[in-house]
Amino acid sequence: MQRISWDQYFMAQSHLLALRSTCTRLMVGATIVREKRIIAGGYNGSVTGGAHCIDDGCYVVDNHCIRTIHAEVNALLQCAKFGVPTEGSEIYVTHFPCVHCSKAIIQAGVRSVYYAKDYKNHPYAKEMFREAGIEVVQVELDEMSLDQQHLEKMKFTAELLDKLDKAGVEEEELRQLRDEANTLFTQNILRG
């Protein structure tokens, strides 16, 4: 069995954190890491004790929800609250950070930003990261690596499709089933 990579491990953590988000517009998670150890995590949501978007709707001003604290800032604030230094750390985020989060990340001394999905990647955020010498790397979450039985599932599905082919299922229907399986497994390994 091959172990999950560090990047996938920390990105998976950020995706798990995003599931705690109370924002109805976009669920984001962030994990701060230093020396291969998680030092903080955050997700986008309201201030402690405040109304949440999932309960009262988003409070949108100029196309931004001002009720929500972004995941990156929540993770950084968690470090500040508990006296955990962020200098030289790395942050793993489910989406490319906004301009405001980018400024906070730079000021906190984070040295690397890893993000899974592009999201309104602002040119100024990219410029600030470049000028600050911060490494920015896209690391998409490989969900297959989280499922320890994915190889068995793919093999089973391929065998079923082969049996359907031998049973005389129409070519168009079989092609559609193969396409659905490929979409589910995000790889083209089930082509017969």
By CB atoms closer than 10 A (0-12, 13-18, 19+), residue 53 is buried
> Rounded to an integer, what is the distance from CA 36 to the centroid of its chain?
18
CB 125 within 8 A of CB 96: yes
Which residues are the active-site residues? 72
- Contacts of 62-65 with C-beta under 8 Å, sequence gap 24+, read 65/23, 65/25
